[in-house]
Chain A
Amino acid sequence: EAGVTQFPSHSVIEKGQTVTLRCDPISGHDNLYWYRRVMGKEIKFLLHFVKESKQDESGMPNNRFLAERTGGTYSTLKVQPAELEDSGVYFCASSPWTRVFTDTQYFGPGTRLTVL
């Protein structure tokens, strides 16, 4: 069974540019989460999809971040325009839609975003 995949693995962009990160969850997983770890800080929740619907986007830092999950499959996270403080590692995780309090969230390898 393929795990969670993310693309690209690393992105270096200039401040003010746009970047789109992609996450492909494990097939059949309805829950999809985005997290972010900035340098020296803990991993922080960004948002949660159930299928194609946003269940919780309380962690999105501001309106420069836009997440979508077309057809309830893969998800994209767009940052436009990027700022220096957006640099970090963006993780995606997925889990089945059974019991969210106990289901394992499987993490992808992350996308390392560097904004210069």
Chain B
Amino acid sequence: QKEVEQNSGPLSVPEGAIASLNCTYSDRGSQSFFWYRQYSGKSPELIMSIYSNGDKEDGRFTAQLNKASQYVSLLIRDSQPSDSATYLCAVIGLYNQGGKLIFGQGTELSVKP
């Protein structure tokens, strides 16, 4: 079982729709959760972080965390073609004292005009 799992996609949504990206993790004690966006050939860029159960909103982005279900998601409202990218879920585990990120494989999102 992979430590962090994501659907690889591609996920295709029309412009203006809500894109929903999902991630599950295996380490029940994981404490920090991140969503990175990576455009093709570019570096990963942090867009959201979440540390406690519930929702966290930042502009058009909402991260949702459910530690009991070991599940974290990212919602993108009013999706734009510029949101087309690969979205990486990353987790810091319970016994990780150094902050190393454990990544999922990434979900490719395509927003069609």
Interface size of A in residues (CB-CB distance below 8 Å): 28
Find out whether the CB atom of B106 lies under 8 angstroms from the CB atom of A56: no
Find out whether the CB atom of A43 lies under 8 angstroms from the CB atom of B88: yes
A33-72 Cβ-contact flags toward B at 8 Å (1 or 0)? 1010000011111001010000110010000000000000
Within the assembled complex, what's the spacing in Å between the Cα atoms of A102 and B49?
A: 8
Interface size of B in residues (CB-CB distance below 8 Å): 24
Is A100's beta carbon under 8 Å from chain B? yes
Contacts of A55 in B (CB 8 A): 97-98
B36-51 Cβ-contact flags toward A at 8 Å (1 or 0)? 1000001111100101
With A43-B44, A108-B43 already in contact, the answer to whether A102 and B51 are too (CB < 8 A) is yes
Within the assembled complex, what's the spacing in Å between the Cα atoms of A101 and B51?
A: 9
> Which of A35, A59, A100, A104 contacts B49, CB < 8 Å?
A104
Q: Which residue of A lies closest to B36 (CB)?
A: A107
Find out whether the CB atom of B99 lies under 8 angstroms from the CB atom of A105: yes
Is A31's beta carbon under 8 Å from chain B? yes
Within the assembled complex, what's the spacing in Å between the Cα atoms of A41 and B36?
A: 16
> Which of A44, A48, A91, A109 contacts B99, CB < 8 Å?
A48
State the total of A-B contacts with C-beta under 8 angstroms.
64
Is B60's beta carbon under 8 Å from chain A? no
Is A110's beta carbon under 8 Å from chain B? yes
Question: Which B41-99 residues have C-beta < 8 A from chain A?
Answer: 42-46, 49, 51, 88, 92, 97-99
Find out whether the CB atom of B98 lies under 8 angstroms from the CB atom of A56: yes
Contacts of B105 in A (CB 8 A): 41-42
Is A14's beta carbon under 8 Å from chain B? no
Find out whether the CB atom of B43 lies under 8 angstroms from the CB atom of A95: no
Find out whether the CB atom of A107 lies under 8 angstroms from the CB atom of B44: yes
What are 17 A-to-B residue pairs whose CB atoms are below 8 Å?
Answer: A33-B100, A35-B101, A35-B103, A42-B103, A42-B104, A42-B106, A43-B101, A44-B103, A45-B101, A48-B98, A48-B99, A50-B98, A55-B98, A56-B100, A91-B43, A100-B99, A109-B43
Interface positions of B (Cβ within 8 A of A): 2, 4, 31-32, 36, 42-46, 49, 51, 88, 92, 97-106
